[in-house]
C-alpha cells in the first residue's frame, strides 16, 4: 500500500500537507494512549503533599517512592482488604506461573495429537474444545465455586491454578493446533518409519521446531492469567487474592484521604510484569493477538 | 533383499474406492515404477506398502512375510519423501542416525553406519550442517542416506525428483540408477514423469483411477501399449492417434485415413483380430519417430514402409531433431525428422511411415488390437 | 496381531482425553448446571426444585437489570463502533510508510497488556473532578469544562466507553494492519493509474477486500464487551448507584453480593445466549471451511 504514495503525479505541496496530516493524527492519538501511562507513573512518584498542591499533568518536583512502598507493604486500609500488595503480588506469581506452564504444555500435546495423529472424531473434539474459548465465564462461576468448595480448594492457589488451566486449555490448544497444521505431515511419517512413537516424535521433533508458537502461547497465557480479575474475585477471599483483586479493593475503599498516588503505585505494581513482558517480547504478543483472533 | 507381493490391494474411503484391486509381484532386486497422473492412486499405494496407510482389503508381503498389519518401523522398509522431510532441528549426522537411535543401536555402530553412507553419497562434508543450510540436491542425498542407513529390504521413493530443477533432476536420476546397480535392493518408485519411469524401471506399472493399466518392462510398455491411455502417456511428444477406416486395398489390409486427402496406409503383418474388422472405424497409433521423409527412411523392415503426403503447418527445431506439425487422418500429427528435412511451414512433404511399429486401437474400448 | 499404528491413535486419543473430559465437565456440564439453577428459586443455597422461569421473571423485574441491559446496548455499540473506526484509521495511517511505525505500534498496543482493573483505576482518577482532566482544563482557561462523567448517572456509561476504547483499539489496529499488508499491490497500482485518489482507493478497493477482518474484529470486540466486568468494577464500581452497571456486574452482584443464586444463574444464562447467538454461526462457518481444507 505504501508504494502507491511514492508514485509521481502529486504536487509536492499536497504531498507534504498529506504527510503532516498523517503524522499529526498519529501523534495526537499517541498522546491519548500515552496519557494514562504518564499519569500513572508521574502520580505514583509524588508525595502526599504534592498531590494536594499540583495538578495531574505536572511532573513530580521531587521523586519519591513512598507511594510504592506504601502500596507494597501496607496495602489498603479498611474492611475489604487483604493486606499488603506485596503478598498479593506473590500470590499472583504463585498461581500464574504453574498455570501458564501446564496449560501451554497440555495445549502443545493436544495440538499435536489433533493434527498429526488424528483419531476418529478429532475434529469434533477440537470444535467442542474451541467452544470453551467463547463462553462468558459468568455462566460457570456458580458451579465452579461449588466444585472448588467440594474439593477443598476454595480460596487456594491450587484452586486458581486448576481454574486457569481448565479455561486456558482451549486457547493454548487452538494456538498449537493452528501452528501444527502448517507443519508437513511427511515429517511425522519419516519419524514413524524411523520408529519414533507418539511421545518421541512430539518431544524430539515437534517441540524443537515449535519455539515461536511456544513463546506466543506463554506470553498470551501469562497476560490473560495475570490480568484476570473475575476468577480471583469469585473464588478467593482475603489473603489468597490475586493482585488484581487487591488493587481493586485498594481503589474502591472510600475511607480516609484520597491517596491516589498509592492507587497509581499499586496499579503500576499490578501492571509491571505484563508490561515488562510486552516491552521485551512485544512482537510475539502481537502475533498471539492476531493469530488467536484471525484463527490461522 | 526381498521380493514384494501386492495382492488384490483395495483402499476405500467410505464409499469412495481409491484403489480397486492392485496385483503386483516383484522379484528380488527389481525396480518398480508406479507411474500415473495425480489422483491415480500411486502415492496411496506407496503409503500402503510403507504402512503409513491401512489397506481396506488384500495383503502386502515382503520377503515371504505378510506385513499388512505390521508397523512401518518393523517392515524393513525405508522411504524417501518428495519434500525430503529432514528433521529441521537436527544436523545431517543426527538425521541419518535417528532411525538407528530409535532402534537402540549403540553409538559406535551408528557412527560407523553414518560414515559408510556419507562416503557412499559423498556428503561427509555436510555432516554437521542443518537441513536449512543445504541445497536441494544435497538435501535429497541426505534423504537417500537416511534411507540407506536402515539397510532395508525395500526402498520406497515418493516423487523424490519433483522439487529439483531440470538439470539436477537428470543428474540425480543417474545417481539413483547407479545406486540401484550397486546395492541391488528392491525399489518402488512413484512418479508422474514418464522419462524417469523409462530410464529407471525394470518394470513399470501405469496407473489410472486406482487400477493398473499395464505392468511390464519399459520397452514393452512403450512398444506394445495395452490401450490408448498407456500409449498416449509414454513418449514425448505423445503418440499420434490417426483416425480412419479399415479397408482392403490391392489385396492388403489398409487404413483409409480420414481427412482431406484420400490416403491409405497398408498394414504390416496385421493380426487375426484386426482382419475381422474390415469396414469398421479404427485408430492408428504412430509415434513421431516412426515418420521420415520418403526416400531417406531407415527401417528394420523396409517392406513395412508406407507413404503419405501432408502439408506441414508448423516447424519446431529442437536442435537435435526438428518437429513437424501437420494435419493427417483428421488429427494434429507430429513427426520427428532430422534437421534440414523440412524447409519451412507450408511445405508439402512425402513421408515414409514405419508400419512395423504402428499400433491399432479400437475406437470404442481404446484397447490395442 | 495388534496393529501398532492404531495404537498410536489410541495413545493420541488418551492424550487429548483429559482436556476433553475437563471441557465436558467444566464447560458443558457447568453450563447445564447453571442453566438448571436458573430454572429454580435458589437464593442463598441451591434449591434444585424445578420452578420454571421464575428467576428470569424476577431478573426482568429489577430496574437494575434494565439499566444494565440499556447500558450494554449503548456501551457495546459505541465501543465496537469507535474501536473499529479508530483501529482502522490508525492502521491505514500506519500503512503509509511511517518512519516511527514500530514505536507507534508499541504505543497503541501496550494498553492490551494491562489488566482492565489497571486501566479502570487510571481512568477513574483521570476522570475525577478534582484531580483529573476536568480540573486541568478548568485551570487552563475552560472554566465550565465538564469531564467528571463517572460522577454523572447519565454519562457514566460513556466513561466506560472511553476507557474500553483506550484499551482495545490497539488490537483492532493490529489485525487491520496485518490484513492491509496482505492486500494485492497490483490492484492498487492499477487504480492509481486510473486516477483514483488515495482515500478513494482505500474506501472502494482496499477496505472492502479485507471484509473478513471486520467481522473478526466485531466478533472479538463483541465478546469482550459482553464479558466486561473488570473495567466497570475499577472505573465506577457500577455507579453512581447502579447507573453504569452492566449485565456481568449484575450477575456478580446477585450471586456473591445478594445471595440470589437463581437470579444470578438466570442473568448468566442470558449473557451466554447472547454470546452464543454471535459466536455459534461464526464458529460454524469457520469449522466448515476447515473441513473443506482437509479434503483438499
- Whether residue C175 lies within 8 A of chain A, CB to CB, comes out as yes
The whole-angstrom distance between residue C199's C-alpha and the CA centroid of its chain comes to 29
By C-alpha distance, the chain B residue nearest C2 is B69
pLDDT of B187 higher than 80? yes
pLDDT score for C3: 60
Question: What single-letter DSSP state applies at residue B260?
Answer: S
pLDDT score for B248: 86
pLDDT score for C287: 65
Specify whether the backbone of B270 is left (phi greater than 0), alpha (psi in -120 to 50) or beta.
beta
pLDDT in tens, A27-82: 999 999 998 898 888 888 887 777 776 666 777 777 778 878 777 877 655 555 55
Listed residue (A199, B69, B66) closest to C2, CA to CA: B69
Judged by DSSP in three states, B159 sits in coil
Cβ A190–B87 below 8 Å, yes or no?
A: yes
Q: Does pTM surpass 0.95?
A: no
By C-alpha distance, the chain C residue nearest B71 is C4
- Say whether the ipTM exceeds 0.95: no
Could you count the other beta carbons within 10 Å of the beta carbon of residue B53? 17
The percent of residues in chain B predicted with pLDDT above 70, rounded, is: 98
Judged by DSSP in three states, A295 sits in coil
Interface of B with C in 33-62 (CB under 8 A): 51, 54
pLDDT of A264 higher than 90? no
Which of C9, C93, C264 is the closest to A22 by Cβ? C93
- Whether residue B14 lies within 8 A of chain A, CB to CB, comes out as no
What is the band of A265 on the pLDDT scale with cuts at 50, 70, 90?
Answer: confident
- Whether residue B102 lies within 8 A of chain A, CB to CB, comes out as yes
Query: DSSP labels for A110-141?
Result: HHHHHHHSPPTTHHHHHHHHHHTTTS-THHHH
| Residue from C4, C6, C10, C295 to probe the interface with B (highest B Cβ count within 10 Å) | C4
Which of A3, A146, A251 is the closest to C124 by Cβ? A251
Does residue B188 contact residue B200 with C-beta atoms inside 8 Å?
no
What is the band of A130 on the pLDDT scale with cuts at 50, 70, 90?
Answer: confident
pLDDT in tens, A184-214: 999 999 999 998 989 999 999 999 999 888 9
- Whether residue A28 lies within 8 A of chain C, CB to CB, comes out as no
- Whether residue C296 lies within 8 A of chain B, CB to CB, comes out as no
pLDDT in tens, B315-346: 999 999 999 999 887 789 999 998 888 888 88
Specify whether the backbone of B210 is left (phi greater than 0), alpha (psi in -120 to 50) or beta.
left
| Sign of the CA dihedral with A276 first, then A280, A281, and A283 last | positive
pLDDT in tens, B31-53: 999 999 988 999 999 999 999 88
* Cis-peptide into C240, omega within 30 deg: yes
By C-alpha distance, the chain B residue nearest C4 is B71
pLDDT score for A251: 82
pLDDT score for C85: 93
Name the grid cell of B289: 519417430
pLDDT score for C295: 42
- Whether residue C93 lies within 8 A of chain A, CB to CB, comes out as yes
- C213 neighbourhood in chain A, CB within 8 Å: 294
- Whether residue A139 lies within 8 A of chain C, CB to CB, comes out as yes
- B54 neighbourhood in chain C, CB within 8 Å: 3, 5
- Whether residue B69 lies within 8 A of chain C, CB to CB, comes out as yes
Residue-wise pLDDT tens for chain C (296 aa)? 346 667 888 899 999 999 999 999 999 999 999 999 888 888 888 888 888 888 889 999 989 999 999 999 999 999 999 999 999 999 988 888 788 888 888 899 889 889 999 999 889 888 888 777 877 777 777 777 778 788 888 888 899 999 999 999 988 998 888 888 878 777 777 887 777 777 888 888 888 888 888 888 888 888 888 878 999 988 888 878 888 899 999 999 988 888 888 899 999 999 999 888 887 887 777 667 655 544 43
- C3 neighbourhood in chain B, CB within 8 Å: 54, 69, 71
pLDDT score for B155: 94
- Whether residue A158 lies within 8 A of chain C, CB to CB, comes out as no
Cβ A186–B83 below 8 Å, yes or no?
A: yes
- Whether residue B132 lies within 8 A of chain A, CB to CB, comes out as no
| Residue from B46, B51, B81 to probe the interface with A (highest A Cβ count within 10 Å) | B81
Cβ C3–B72 below 8 Å, yes or no?
A: no
Which of C34, C220, C275 is the closest to A143 by Cβ? C34
Listed residue (C52, C38, C59, C50) closest to C261, CA to CA: C38
Å from B270 to nearest chain A CA? 50
Order of all β-strands in the sheet with B57-62:
B16-26, B4-13, B57-62, B65-66
pLDDT in tens, B149-162: 988 999 999 999 98
pLDDT score for B2: 86
The percent of residues in chain B predicted with pLDDT above 90, rounded, is: 55
- C104 neighbourhood in chain A, CB within 8 Å: 26, 30
Question: What single-letter DSSP state applies at residue B268?
Answer: S
Question: What single-letter DSSP state applies at residue A55?
Answer: -
Cβ B98–A209 below 8 Å, yes or no?
A: no
Listed residue (C55, C73, C57, C40) closest to C247, CA to CA: C73
- Whether residue C174 lies within 8 A of chain A, CB to CB, comes out as yes
User: What end-to-end distance do the CA atoms of chain C give, in Å?
Assistant: 33
Distance (Å, whole) CA C118 – CA C114: 6
Amino acid at each position: 500500500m505504501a508504494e502507491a504514495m511514492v508514485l509521481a503525479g502529486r504536487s509536492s505541496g499536497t504531498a507534504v500537507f498529506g504527510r503532516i496530516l498523517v503524522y499529526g493524527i498519529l501523534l495526537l492519538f499517541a498522546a491519548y494512549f500515552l496519557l494514562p501511562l504518564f499519569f500513572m507513573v508521574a502520580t505514583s512518584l509524588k508525595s502526599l503533599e504534592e498531590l494536594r498542591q499540583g495538578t495531574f499533568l505536572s511532573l513530580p518536583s521531587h521523586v519519591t517512592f513512598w507511594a510504592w512502598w506504601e502500596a507494597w507493604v501496607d496495602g489498603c486500609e479498611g474492611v475489604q482488604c487483604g493486606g499488603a500488595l506485596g503478598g498479593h503480588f506473590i500470590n499472583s506469581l504463585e498461581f500464574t506461573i504453574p498455570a501458564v506452564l501446564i496449560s501451554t504444555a497440555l495445549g502443545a500435546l493436544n495440538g499435536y495429537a489433533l493434527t498429526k495423529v488424528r483419531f476418529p472424531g478429532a475434529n469434533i473434539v477440537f470444535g467442542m474444545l474451541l467452544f470453551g474459548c467463547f463462553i462468558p465465564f459468568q455462566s460457570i462461576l456458580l458451579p465452579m465455586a461449588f466444585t472448588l468448595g467440594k474439593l477443598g480448594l476454595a480460596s487456594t492457589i491450587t484452586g486458581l491454578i486448576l481454574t486457569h488451566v481448565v479455561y486456558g486449555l482451549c486457547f493454548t490448544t487452538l494456538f498449537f493446533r493452528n501452528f501444527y497444521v502448517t507443519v508437513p505431515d511427511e515429517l511425522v511419517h519419516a519419524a514413524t518409519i524411523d520408529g519414533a512413537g507418539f511421545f518421541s516424535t512430539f518431544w524430539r521433533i515437534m517441540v524443537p521446531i515449535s519455539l515461536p508458537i511456544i513463546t506466543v502461547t506463554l506470553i498470551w497465557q501469562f497476560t490473560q492469567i495475570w490480568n484476570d480479575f473475575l476468577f480471583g474475585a469469585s473464588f478467593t477471599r482475603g489473603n489468597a487474592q490475586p493482585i488484581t483483586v487487591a488493587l481493586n479493593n485498594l481503589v474502591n475503599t472510600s475511607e480516609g484521604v484520597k491517596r491516589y498516588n498509592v492507587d497509581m503505585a499499586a496499579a503500576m505494581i499490578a501492571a509491571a510484569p505484563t508490561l515488562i513482558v510486552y516491552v521485551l517480547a512485544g512482537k510475539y504478543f502481537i502475533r498471539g493477538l492476531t493469530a488467536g483472533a484471525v484463527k490461522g | 533383499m526381498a521380493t514384494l507381493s501386492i495382492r488384490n490391494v483395495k483402499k476405500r474411503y467410505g464409499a469412495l474406492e481409491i484403489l480397486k484391486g492392485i496385483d503386483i509381484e516383484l522379484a528380488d532386486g527389481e525396480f518398480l515404477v508406479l507411474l500415473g497422473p495425480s489422483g491415480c492412486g500411486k502415492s496411496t499405494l506407496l503409503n500402503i506398502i510403507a504402512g503409513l496407510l491401512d489397506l481396506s482389503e488384500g495383503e502386502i508381503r515382503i520377503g515371504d512375510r505378510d506385513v499388512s498389519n505390521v508397523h512401518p518401523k518393523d517392515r524393513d522398509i525405508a522411504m524417501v519423501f518428495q519434500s525430503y522431510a529432514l528433521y529441521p532441528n537436527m544436523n545431517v549426522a543426527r538425521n541419518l542416525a535417528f532411525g538407528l537411535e530409535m532402534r537402540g543401536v549403540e553409538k559406535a555402530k551408528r557412527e560407523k553406519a553414518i560414515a559408510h553412507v556419507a562416503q557412499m553419497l559423498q556428503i561427509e562434508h555436510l555432516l554437521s550442517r542443518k537441513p536449512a543450510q543445504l541445497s536441494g540436491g544435497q538435501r535429497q542425498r541426505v534423504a537417500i542416506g537416511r534411507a540407506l542407513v536402515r539397510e532395508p529390504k525395500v526402498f520406497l521413493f515418493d516423487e523424490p525428483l519433483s522439487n529439483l530443477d531440470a538439470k539436477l533432476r537428470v543428474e540425480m536420476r543417474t545417481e539413483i540408477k547407479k545406486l540401484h546397480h550397486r546395492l541391488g535392493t528392491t525399489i518402488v518408485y512413484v512418479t508422474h514423469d514418464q522419462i524417469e519411469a523409462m530410464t529407471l524401471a525394470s518394470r513399470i506399472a501405469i496407473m489410472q483411477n486406482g487400477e493398473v493399466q499395464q505392468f511390464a518392462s519399459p520397452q514393452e510398455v512403450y512398444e506394445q501399449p495395452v490401450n490408448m491411455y498407456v500409449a498416449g502417456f509414454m513418449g514425448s511428444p505423445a503418440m499420434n492417434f490417426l483416425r480412419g477406416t479399415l479397408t482392403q486395398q490391392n489385396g492388403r489390409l489398409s487404413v483409409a485415413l480420414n481427412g482431406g486427402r484420400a490416403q491409405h496406409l497398408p498394414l504390416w503383418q496385421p493380426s487375426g483380430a484386426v482382419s475381422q474388422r474390415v469396414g469398421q472405424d479404427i485408430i492408428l497409433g504412430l509415434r513421431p519417430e516412426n515418420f521420415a521423409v520418403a526416400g531417406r527412411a531407415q527401417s528394420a523392415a523396409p517392406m513395412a514402409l508406407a507413404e503419405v503426403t501432408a502439408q506441414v503447418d508448423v516447424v519446431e527445431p529442437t536442435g537435435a531433431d526438428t518437429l513437424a506439425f501437420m494435419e493427417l487422418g483428421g488429427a494434429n500429427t507430429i513427426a520427428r525428422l532430422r534437421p534440414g528435412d523440412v524447409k519451412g511451414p507450408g511445405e508439402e512433404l512425402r513421408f515414409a511411415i514405419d508400419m512395423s511399429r504402428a499400433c491399432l486401437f479400437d475406437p470404442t474400448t481404446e484397447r490395442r488390437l | 496381531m495388534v496393529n501398532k499404528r492404531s495404537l498410536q491413535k489410541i495413545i493420541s486419543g488418551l492424550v487429548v482425553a483429559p482436556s476433553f473430559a475437563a471441557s465436558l465437565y467444566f464447560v458443558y456440564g457447568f453450563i447445564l448446571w447453571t442453566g438448571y439453577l436458573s430454572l429454580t428459586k435458589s437464593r442463598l443455597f441451591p434449591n434444585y426444585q424445578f420452578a420454571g422461569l421464575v428467576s428470569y421473571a424476577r431478573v426482568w423485574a429489577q430496574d437494575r437489570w434494565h439499566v444494565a441491559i440499556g447500558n450494554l446496548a449503548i456501551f457495546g455499540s459505541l465501543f465496537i463502533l469507535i474501536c473499529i473506526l479508530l483501529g482502522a484509521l490508525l492502521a491505514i495511517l500506519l500503512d503509509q510508510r511511517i518512519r516511527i511505525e514500530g514505536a507507534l505500534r508499541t504505543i497503541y498496543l501496550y494498553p492490551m497488556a494491562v489488566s482492565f482493573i489497571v486501566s479502570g483505576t487510571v481512568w477513574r482518577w483521570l476522570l475525577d473532578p478534582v484531580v483529573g482532566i476536568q480540573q486541568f482544563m478548568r485551570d487552563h482557561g475552560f472554566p465550565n469544562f465538564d469531564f467528571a462523567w463517572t460522577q454523572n448517572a447519565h454519562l457514566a456509561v460513556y466513561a466506560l466507553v472511553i476507557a474500553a476504547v483506550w484499551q482495545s483499539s490497539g488490537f483492532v489496529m493490529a489485525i487491520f494492519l496485518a490484513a492491509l499488508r496482505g492486500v494485492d499491490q497490483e490492484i492498487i497500482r492499477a487504480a492509481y493509474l486510473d486516477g483514483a485518489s488515495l482515500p478513494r482507493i482505500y474506501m472502494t478497493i482496499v477496505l472492502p477486500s479485507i471484509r473478513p477482518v471486520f467481522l473478526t474484529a466485531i466478533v472479538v470486540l463483541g465478546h469482550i464487551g459482553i464479558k466486561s466486568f473488570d473495567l466497570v468494577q475499577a472505573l465506577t464500581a457500577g455507579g453512581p448507584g447502579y447507573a453504569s452497571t452492566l449485565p456481568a456486574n449484575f450477575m456478580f452482584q446477585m450471586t456473591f453480593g445478594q445471595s440470589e443464586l437463581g437470579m444470578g444463574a438466570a442473568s448468566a444464562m442470558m449473557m451466554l445466549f447472547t454470546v452464543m447467538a454471535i459466536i455459534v454461526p461464526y464458529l460454524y462457518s469457520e469449522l466448515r471451511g476447515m473441513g473443506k481444507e482437509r479434503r483438499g
